[in-house]
Structure formats: structure tokens, C-alpha cells
């Protein structure tokens, strides 16, 4: 294996989270090297759903148009009782606040191939397949380079390289998590489920969304993934067969509410089981996500039951949150304390999503205790309250809590927008109709509904942020209405499109630019590249 000729950011694991992180770093001009055990992508589907926020992340990675060619918008989630009668519907729209369908179904190998193709086109990125990482070590100095030791396929020789930072995107069995001494916090959910992916040309009863059967003895999930692709998930005992003559007959009974099949002996090519996998759904959260320049992302940092479809979404949110901060530190000399905000912001958010998945999981599957029937009754009653299903759907991505990069004001005026995402409408730019982020690119930005003051201009200049008047964008009024509802004249957006600070209506200034500017730009000092040891 040829040693890297530069000191890159090393990414361990070339799944969707790792490759997306590399593409986002490349957009900021940061070189990365991905180390992956396998030579090729895993050919069978695993993750199957993303939300509109993640579609926006894929836009930042430069692959959203290609992803749209095979993604399938879904109508939402239905809760069904044991007789398959609808308890509640959580509807999802075809255009969420991020400018994309709120729920999209897809086949993970298609996404991974798309990400790998994009990676190959970026000179800032390099992928080494067939590499097993053995150890990760760093000095006590949090800013010191990190040493990564590894072996290549077919070789016993241990090789080493130095990295500006290491991103552990290496899954639930992460060696990176062990290297930083992180341990799991158990959030108290563990169930054994069987995942069955099918290709069939037979008529299937589907509403183009996800069905969750709330049944104490036989809970199940069903969804359509593509034109002829479907997935069922059943909570089954570990020794329950679903292959062989007896098992296939049992499978026929399990899927009967959705598709009519003859006896298993008469199955033809019109119903093909392409994958069966046994999973233990767990809810866990790593106690720490960073040590020095080593970070955990995705399943290395958190595990969630799949009931609200946020497993992969959470990992891609990790990549989006961390990469712009890491680029700012490596390239522009930002204070290393900026990197502390990664765990500060992402861990509470991940905990919220996991707890929501656990709560819905226990309510939907009912569990196996004496309170199961009561929980299902309460869920059905709550979902009939006007606005409850809308609120639950919207709350998948709550506002970030106050911190160095989310400036909350003591008064309520203008406060509601801080920590939330700016919506992304279609706008006009240079005579073309484009999405807002294509105008703002990868920088900070100031969106204002009033003429910019000299102070606004000074802040924008210090951050390299364009100042954009919303009335000049030619959108449908989305941005002006959003600012008006938040009682703000202007907002300062981070590169990940989260509102850092606001100017409340009529006040004319940001809160305290100096406080967060010290973290964000190199006005005080310049960090020179250190030679590799």
C-alpha cells in the first residue's frame, strides 16, 4: 500500500456516512482518505428511507439530482391494528421545508454506488479498499496529528499514516469508539426482528407509504421500495423459519394481508425473496463522541430502532454538522473548541430521535407486557387529537439547544428561529431558477428583509458571508414569511443552514458577534501546517 503523500483527514468506513463526509469536506477543499475493509459496496439493501433534511445534505454533497432519479417519495406512516384497520396516519408532503419530499424510499446499494461515483470524481478524496484498521493513537495534545495503523488484504505487514483528524464511520462494532474509550449508554430497547426483501410482479396492496402493524403477538412493518421491490419486517422468535418448504408457507401467511400468493410449492419468478436478515434492534448512545482529533459518526456513535426511519438520517446529520467545523479549523485556523460543539449539538439531538423511536416502537409494537393494550389504546386516542400527528412528524428534527453556535436571546422576540433550519425555496439567481442553497453555496450567509446596516456588512465580511436580501431572490414569499413569523429582520446562517443568530425586528444588530467570531475565524491567529512526525 502506497503511503499518503499528504496528511489527510482519515475516514474509517466507506459506507454512506463516510463517503458523504468525504464529499462534504471536499466541497471545503479538505483532502480525505477513506479506509474500508471491503473492496466493493455491500450489494443488498439495508437503509431504505431518508427525510427532506437528508435530501438537502445530499444536495450539499452534489448528488441530489442523481438521487432523485431512483428515490421514491412516500406518503408517510400508517399505524394499523391487528386486523389491519387504520389507527392513525402520519402524512408526509411532497415538498418539506428543505425543498424536497419529506420522506423518500430508495435502495441503499443504489445510493452507495452514486456516492462512490461522486467520490471518484473528486481529486480531494481517495479510497483504499481491502484495508483493516488495527489501531488509532494520538498524543495528549488535542491538536496533534493522529496515527492510524492498518493492514492491507493479503499482507501481515503493519502500515501507518498520519492524519489531521480521524472520522470513525465504522459502524456498531467501531474500533474508533474503542480507541477513544467511549462506552455505550443503554436506552432500554432490544427486540429481535426478521427483515425480508422481496421482488414481485404480483399485485400488492399498498398506499405508497409505510405500514406499522401494532400487534402484541405479531407486529410488522411493510413498505414499498421501488417499482417491484418491497420490504417486510416481522418480530419473530430467533428459531422461526422463513425459508424451506415450511418456512416459505409461514412467510406466505405473514404477507397475506398485502399480497395473495399460492402455496409456496407453486411460487414462480413472480415472487422472489432476495434477502433475509435477522436484526436485533437496539437503542444505544456513546457516552463520548470525540477525543482530540478523533470523532465518532453514525452507528459508531448511536443506534436506534428503525420505527421512524432515522438510522441513516442521523449519521448523515453527523457528517453535515462536523465537516464544516473541521474544515474551518484545519484550513482557516478556527479555535479547536469549535469542534466541541459537534457532540454538544448532535448528541442531544440523537438522544431525542432515539427516544422518540423507542416510544413509538413500544406504542406501535405494544411490547409484551400487561400495559401493551393500554398503550395502543392511548396512541390511537392521542392521534385523533387535531394536530397531534402533524406535530409528531415535524418534531423529528427539533431546534438545536443554545450554545456557542446557537445564540438565543433573553427575550422571546426573534428567539424562535435560532437553532432551526432556514427553509429552502426555489429562487431566481442570474436569470435561473435554482434552490436557495445553490445561491448561498457552502459559506455562512446573512439573509435580510431590510437594507443591511454597516454592522451587518462588517459581520458578513469577517465571516466571508454573502448578504442576501430576501426580496431580491424572487421566491414565492417563503423566506419573508419565515422571517416575519420569527419576528426577525435578518438571520445569520451557518454553512449547514442552521440559524446561528437573529436580528429581532427593529433592533438592528446581532447579539454579540465577537463571542462567536473568536471561534469561527482566524482574526487572532493563524495556524501553520505542522510537519508529520
Q: Is residue 309 part of a domain?
A: yes
The number of domains in the chain is: 2
For 227, 256, 262, 289, the CA distances from 202, given in Å and listed in that order, are: 11, 12, 11, 46
Quote the pLDDT of residue 394: 55
For 59, 305, 353, 445, the CA distances from 104, given in Å and listed in that order, are: 14, 18, 18, 28
Quote the pLDDT of residue 214: 87
Q: Is residue 439 part of a domain?
A: yes
- Indicate whether 170 and 45 sit together in one domain: yes
- Cα separation, 401 vs 347, in Å, equals 11
- Indicate whether 126 and 41 sit together in one domain: yes
- Cα separation, 168 vs 319, in Å, equals 11
The Cα angle at residue 101 between residues 204 and 392, in degrees rounded to 5: 90
Whole-structure pTM value: 0.91
Q: For residue 502, give its domain range.
A: 426-520
Quote the pLDDT of residue 411: 56
**DSSP letter assigned to residue 527:** P
Instruction: Please write the tens of the pLDDT for every residue from 259-289.
Output: 999 887 777 778 988 888 888 889 999 999 9
The domain spanning residue 511 has which CATH number?
A: 3.40.30
Closest CA to 207 of 63, 92, 123: 92
- Contact indicator for 230, 210 with CB cutoff of 8 Å: no
Closest CA to 39 of 166, 115, 153: 153
- Cα separation, 255 vs 215, in Å, equals 15
- Cα separation, 354 vs 360, in Å, equals 10
Closest CA to 314 of 285, 288, 340: 285
- Cα separation, 372 vs 364, in Å, equals 9
- Indicate whether 164 and 56 sit together in one domain: yes
Residues of the chain with pLDDT under 70: 1-6, 364-396, 410-415, 521-533
- Cα separation, 364 vs 10, in Å, equals 40
Grid cell in block for residue 423: 427553509
- Contact indicator for 23, 68 with CB cutoff of 8 Å: no
- Cα separation, 243 vs 273, in Å, equals 9
Grid cell in block for residue 141: 495534545
Grid look-up 418539506 returns 96
Neighbours of 65 (CB within 10 A): 9
- Indicate whether 313 and 173 sit together in one domain: yes
Cα dihedral 126/130/134/139 (nearest 10):
-10
- Indicate whether 347 and 430 sit together in one domain: no
The phi, psi pair for 393, rounded to 5°, reads -65, -40
- Cα separation, 191 vs 303, in Å, equals 13
Quote the pLDDT of residue 523: 36
- Indicate whether 151 and 63 sit together in one domain: yes
Please, is 122 exposed, middle or buried when counting C-beta atoms within 10 Å of its C-beta (0-12, 13-18, 19+)? Answer: middle
Q: Is residue 78 part of a domain?
A: no
Last residue within a domain, chosen from 338, 356, 374: 356
The domain spanning residue 319 has which CATH number?
A: 3.50.50.60
- Contact indicator for 490, 502 with CB cutoff of 8 Å: yes
Length of the chain: 533
Q: Is residue 299 part of a domain?
A: yes
- Indicate whether 38 and 171 sit together in one domain: yes
Q: Is residue 46 part of a domain?
A: yes
Last residue within a domain, chosen from 309, 326, 356: 356
Q: Is residue 385 part of a domain?
A: no
- Contact indicator for 326, 25 with CB cutoff of 8 Å: yes
- Indicate whether 334 and 444 sit together in one domain: no
Last residue within a domain, chosen from 356, 376, 397: 356
How many CA atoms, within 13 angstroms, populate the side-chain half-sphere of residue 196? 24
The phi, psi pair for 146, rounded to 5°, reads -110, 135
The helix/strand count (H/E) of the chain reads as: 14, 26
- Indicate whether 446 and 332 sit together in one domain: no
Quote the pLDDT of residue 533: 38
Please, is 399 exposed, middle or buried when counting C-beta atoms within 10 Å of its C-beta (0-12, 13-18, 19+)? Answer: middle
Neighbours of 160 (CB within 10 A): 12
Q: Is residue 157 part of a domain?
A: yes
- Cα separation, 530 vs 533, in Å, equals 9
- Indicate whether 440 and 312 sit together in one domain: no
Q: Is residue 193 part of a domain?
A: no
- Indicate whether 142 and 290 sit together in one domain: yes
- Indicate whether 149 and 37 sit together in one domain: yes
Please, is 497 exposed, middle or buried when counting C-beta atoms within 10 Å of its C-beta (0-12, 13-18, 19+)? Answer: buried
Amino acid at each position: 500500500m502506497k503511503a499518503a503523500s499528504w496528511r489527510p483527514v482519515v475516514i474509517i468506513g466507506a459506507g454512506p456516512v463516510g463517503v458523504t463526509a468525504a464529499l462534504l469536506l471536499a466541497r471545503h477543499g479538505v483532502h480525505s482518505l477513506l479506509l474500508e475493509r471491503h473492496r466493493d459496496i455491500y450489494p443488498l439493501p439495508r437503509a431504505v428511507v431518508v427525510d427532506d433534511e437528508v435530501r438537502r445534505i445530499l444536495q450539499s454533497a452534489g448528488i441530489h439530482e442523481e438521487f432523485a432519479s431512483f428515490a421514491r417519495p412516500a406518503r408517510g406512516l400508517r399505524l394499523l391494528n391487528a386486523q389491519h384497520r387504520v389507527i392513525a396516519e402520519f402524512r408526509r408532503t411532497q415538498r418539506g421545508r428543505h425543498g424536497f419530499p419529506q420522506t423518500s424510499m430508495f435502495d441503499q446499494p443504489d445510493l452507495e454506488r452514486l456516492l462512490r461515483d461522486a467520490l471518484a470524481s473528486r481529486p480531494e478524496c481517495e479510497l483504499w479498499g481491502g484495508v483493516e484498521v488495527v489501531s488509532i493513537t494520538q498524543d495528549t495534545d488535542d491538536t496533534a496529528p493522529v496515527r492510524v495503523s492498518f493492514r492491507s488484504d493479503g499482507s501481515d505487514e503493519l502500515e501507518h499514516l498520519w492524519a489531521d483528524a480521524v472520522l470513525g464511520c465504522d459502524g456498531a462494532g467501531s474500533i474508533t469508539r474503542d480507541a477513544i474509550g467511549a462506552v455505550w449508554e443503554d436506552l432500554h430497547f432490544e427486540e429481535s426482528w426478521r427483515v425480508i426483501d422481496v421482488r414481485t410482479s404480483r399485485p400488492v396492496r399498498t398506499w405508497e407509504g409505510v405500514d406499522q402493524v401494532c400487534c402484541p403477538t405479531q407486529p410488522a412493518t411493510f413498505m414499498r421500495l421501488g417499482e417491484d421491490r418491497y420490504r417486510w419486517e416481522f418480530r419473530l422468535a430467533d428459531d422461526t423459519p422463513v425459508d424451506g418448504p415450511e418456512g416459505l408457507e409461514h412467510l406466505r401467511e405473514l404477507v397475506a394481508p398485502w399480497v395473495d400468493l399460492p402455496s409456496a410449492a407453486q411460487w414462480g419468478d413472480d415472487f422472489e425473496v432476495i434477502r433475509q436478515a435477522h436484526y436485533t434492534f437496539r437503542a444505544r448512545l456513546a457516552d463520548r463522541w470525540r477525543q482530540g482529533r478523533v470523532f465518532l459518526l453514525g452507528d459508531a456513535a448511536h443506534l436506534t430502532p428503525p420505527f421512524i426511519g432515522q438510522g441513516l438520517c442521523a449519521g448523515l446529520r453527523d457528517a453535515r454538522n462536523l465537516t464544516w467545523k473541521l474544515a474551518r479549523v484545519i484550513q482557516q485556523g478556527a479555535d479547536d473548541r469549535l469542534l466541541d460543539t459537534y457532540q454538544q449539538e448532535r448528541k442531544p439531538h440523537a438522544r431525542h430521535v432515539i427516544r422518540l423511536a423507542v416510544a413509538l416502537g413500544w406504542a406501535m409494537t405494544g411490547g409484551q407486557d400487561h400495559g401493551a393494550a393500554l398503550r395502543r389504546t392511548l396512541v390511537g386516542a392521542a392521534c385523533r387529537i387535531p394536530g397531534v400527528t402533524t406535530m409528531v412528524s415535524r418534531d423529528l428534527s427539533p431546534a438545536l439547544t443554545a450554545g456557542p453556535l446557537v445564540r438565543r436571546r433573553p427575550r422571546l422576540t426573534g428567539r424562535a428561529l435560532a437553532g432551526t433550519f432556514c427553509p429552502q425555496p426555489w429562487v431566481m439567481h442570474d436569470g435561473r431558477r435554482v434552490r436557495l442553497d445553490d445561491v448561498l453555496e457552502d459559506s455562512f450567509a446573512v439573509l435580510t428583509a431590510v437594507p443591511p446596516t454597516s454592522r451587518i456588512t462588517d459581520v458578513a465580511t469577517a465571516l466571508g458571508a454573502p448578504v442576501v436580501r430576501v426580496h431580491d431572490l424572487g421566491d414565492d414569499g417563503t423566506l419573508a414569511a419565515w422571517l416575519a413569523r420569527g419576528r426577525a429582520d435578518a438571520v445569520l446562517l451557518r454553512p449547514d443552514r442552521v440559524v446561528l443568530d437573529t436580528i429581532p425586528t427593529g433592533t438592528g444588530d446581532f447579539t454579540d458577534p465577537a463571542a462567536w467570531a473568536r471561534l469561527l475565524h482566524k482574526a487572532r491567529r493563524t495556524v501553520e501546517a505542522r510537519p508529520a512526525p
